[in-house]
Structure 1
Amino acid sequence: MRKRPFVANLVNDTKIPKMFKVRQVFPRPKIEVEEIPLLIEKLLSEEKFTKQVHPGMRIAITAGSRGIANVALTTKCLVDFVKSRGAVPFVVPAMGSHGGATAKGQRQILEGYGITKQYIGCPIISSMEVKKIGLNAEGSEVYIDKNAAEADGIILGCRVKPHTAFRGRYESGIMKMMTIGLGKQQGAEVCHEAGFKNMAKNIPLFGKAIIEHAPILFAVPTIENAFDETCKIVAINSDEIEEKEPELLKEAFSYMPKILVDSCDVLIVDQIGKNFSGDGMDPNITGTFCTPYANGGIKSQRVAVLDLSPETHGNGIGLGYASATTERVYQQLDLASMYPNAITCTVLGGVKIPIIMESDKEAIQVCIRTCNEIDKQNPRIVRISNSLHIEHIMLSESYWDEIKDIPNLVIESEPQYLSFDYDGNLW
């Protein structure tokens, strides 16, 4: 993009206030990495699990597109369990239309998380081909990954977490992994067609049909704490999923972190990406919800997104909920990766392109400049690295006295101006 000095001149006198570092204190229950293999081995040693896996069976193990803590290790543990029973495991990507809705793209996502044939010790069979397995209770056709459907059994590896676009008894978790993850492009599209307004109904509607008509054996979901660390792993038989998943979701909500100030004029997000959230930046943190069927997070007038994570491979979904971004972000965008996800879920707002400024400094300035009814000399600004890691954040000087009354906020530095390089980008 060519230089736009006139645009820069409109904002270059806008003051960016001093900011200071703050540590947010959250509960931190945690399972140590070295404990995970023995824990999963113990969980799956129960007879109700061991009796379902026999020598020679072909067992599909699911792995999704989210940046789940220890996902390569937990997947490998499931592979090792299947092998220990004399069965033959393989991993299938269960991520709906993600990865550009291509088999290659979905395999690459798994490899980016360390789920490779060499590490887990079994093949990864990535395909967008689906198979009809039956009808749900309302008579709609139900599809899942063809390779999984034709296996002798399916083990669901996943994480239970609050969703970013709706609320219900089942959100991101086991039911959704079956309904949308295993459904691939076609299954995801069928479920999304009715919109997020009906997602709380459709996920269990299709999920129950998959339990009934597909060879689902059991699930091994994880829950994470506020620091993106594994804090709970359970094993749930297929006939227990409907009853037990809602309680796991409640527990996941209890560990959900948040920005411990309720509102700001401008929220600065250093990076967004699919590895942080399916929405690029988790609206449960940032308040940037794509639908009216969920709420929460910090309230802000403007949001500045400064960069994409390397792990997102140009998928800038979620950028549409920013007020401003940088030319650096624009140049990285892979529209072929972004658009299939948006089209499939029928929500196009996340792939819109906000105002593009040449540098970090200008993106921040234009957000401050365009806020209404604020103190422009002392704007309330919150800066986070991304929506997944918010233990350490930055606040503008206007919060200095206010946060002394907020429990679990620890000031870590004196206020000082942000450092920008010659091009106007943050050091």
Structure 2
Amino acid sequence: MSIAPFPLDELRWFRATQSFPRPRLQDLEGTVAREWSNLQPPLPRGGSVAIAVGSRGIAQLDSMVKATVDFLKANGNSPFIVPAMGSHGGATAEGQAQVLASYGITPETMGCPVISSMDTHRLQEHPGAPAVFIDLAAWKADGIVLINRVKPHTDFHGRWESGLVKMAVIGLGKKNQASEVHRHGVRGLRELIPDAFQQILGTGKLWAGLAVVENAYDETAHVEVLPAGRFSSRESELLELARGNMPRLPFDDLDVLIVDRVGKDISGSGMDTNIIGRIRISGEVEPEAPRIRSIMVSRLTEATHGNATGLGLADVITQGLFDEIDFVTTYANIVTSGFLERGKIPVVAKNDREALEIALRAAVPFSSETATIIRIRDTLHCHEMMVSAAAAQRMQDLSLGSVQENSLPLFDPAGSLCPWT
């Protein structure tokens, strides 16, 4: 593409940081083990137990899974791990096993089998209720325990959002359940998940779950083991704890947001919609804030394995990102969700510099003195930023963080974003 030069060289860039509350666990493995040991009523001794693990990039997920495996072994159980990630991983058994392996979760590292399959058991249907599916290997076990992060959802808001309840339904239900729920749109997420969860709970197969809350620095702030009967009541409280620990941008009005990387390990929608203020689901009302005129994205994360779900939330991407997309994996996820807007391809630029030029053109009128631009690594990490001079001045005026005095280059000579130092 040939476009007229844009005055990017007039912009000055500064390293900036903002601070958030930082509660964090120091002895994660020990805390997880104690939580399982203190569970009331205690887990039954003996028998096989399926440990459901999802596709999110939860901090130290492998350590939490290993501590759970070790506890179950000490309890006399025979644990094994099943992927609980709906249609992620390309909706294939091999793809879902690869997602777990990318987080360090393999039979060798965990000391127990990993059974990955897309086969499901269909529960007996109730009149007027949605069809409910459970991973077949998990269904054949004596019991099931879950491990998942609790956080605000990127598609809807309600009493339960992302967490144990949703994992029990969509995660464990594989592609069959994801398709069943998502064909009802956001209503399926908001209204059908609680009904389906009650059916699963009624089987007696679901024993307990480890709920994880992270802080704004992508660190573990809180873990709590809950009996399955308390998922509904306690998870809504943990959701508020998670909401209070989320990262955020320093202010609500931006000309351009530069995001280095997106992926399923960052958010189910690639970028957290709660951070960027965009949902882009037909029929759903867009958030009032933040208001970002243009969003450019540079690359996919390695751990997303080419899954570019949520790319339609951006306005401009690079050719490098486009070349990383696995369309089979991405479309398996997008089509199952039914949110086709999020699978649309933004404008593709040859490199990062051209991507910013295009993004700024969409945010006209442009002035190097007033352009409010922020660069972040991803929507999990908003505490360290590169900001334009106008954004730096605004942060200082509002005491929203600290800004380094010396300006730094944003691009290298090839037009790529400079590495973070």
Q: TM-score, normalised by structure 1?
A: 0.93
Partner residue of 2:290 out of 289, 295, 298: 298
Tell me what 1:29 maps to: 23
Partner residue of 1:369 out of 361, 373, 382: 361
Alignment of 1:311-326 (within 5 A): 311-326=303-318
Alignment of 1:204-219 (within 5 A): 204-219=194-209
| Partners of 1:293 and 1:84 in 2: CA distance | 50
| Partners of 1:104 and 1:297 in 2: CA distance | 39
Partner residue of 1:20 out of 8, 14, 17: 14
Partner residue of 1:278 out of 247, 254, 268: 268
Distance change >3 Å, CA 47–CA 415, structure 1 → 2: closer
Distance change >3 Å, CA 125–CA 16, structure 1 → 2: farther
| Partners of 1:90 and 1:416 in 2: CA distance | 50
Q: Kindly state the Cα deviation for residue 407 of structure 1 after the two structures are TM-superposed.
A: 3.8
Tell me what 2:119 maps to: 129
Alignment of 1:164-179 (within 5 A): 164-179=154-169
**1:380 paired to 2:372:** yes
| Partners of 1:198 and 1:107 in 2: CA distance | 27
Distance change >3 Å, CA 47–CA 178, structure 1 → 2: closer
Distance change >3 Å, CA 85–CA 417, structure 1 → 2: closer
Contact 2:13 2:410 in 1 (8 A): yes
| Partners of 2:102 and 2:384 in 1: CA distance | 26
**1:327 paired to 2:319:** yes
| Partners of 1:287 and 1:215 in 2: CA distance | 38
Contact 2:13 2:408 in 1 (8 A): yes
**Structure 1 residues 322-355: Cα deviation after superposition (integer angstroms, max 9, x where no partner):** 1111111111111011001111110012221111
Contact 2:153 2:161 in 1 (8 A): yes
**Structure 1 residues 245-265: Cα deviation after superposition (integer angstroms, max 9, x where no partner):** 110111110101101111111
**1:99 paired to 2:93:** no
| Partners of 2:5 and 2:267 in 1: CA distance | 31
| Partners of 1:198 and 1:11 in 2: CA distance | 47
Tell me what 1:348 maps to: 340
| Partners of 2:246 and 2:285 in 1: CA distance | 18
Contact 2:369 2:390 in 1 (8 A): no
The residue type paired with residue 372 of structure 2 is R
| Partners of 1:37 and 1:394 in 2: CA distance | 35
Tell me what 2:51 maps to: 61
Q: Kindly state the Cα deviation for residue 296 of structure 1 after the two structures are TM-superposed.
A: 6.3
The residue type paired with residue 169 of structure 1 is R
| Partners of 2:190 and 2:230 in 1: CA distance | 19
Partner residue of 2:220 out of 230, 235, 247: 230
Tell me what 1:146 maps to: 136
Q: Kindly state the Cα deviation for residue 374 of structure 1 after the two structures are TM-superposed.
A: 4.7
The residue type paired with residue 102 of structure 1 is T
The residue type paired with residue 314 of structure 1 is G
Structure 2 gap segments, 5+ residues each = none
**1:404 paired to 2:396:** yes
Tell me what 1:76 maps to: 66
| Partners of 2:132 and 2:51 in 1: CA distance | 19
**1:44 paired to 2:47:** no
Tell me what 1:424 maps to: 415
Q: Kindly state the Cα deviation for residue 43 of structure 1 after the two structures are TM-superposed.
A: 1.7
Q: Kindly state the Cα deviation for residue 372 of structure 1 after the two structures are TM-superposed.
A: 3.5
Distance change >3 Å, CA 75–CA 415, structure 1 → 2: same
Structure 1 gap segments, 5+ residues each = none
Distance change >3 Å, CA 89–CA 365, structure 1 → 2: same
| Partners of 2:338 and 2:177 in 1: CA distance | 13
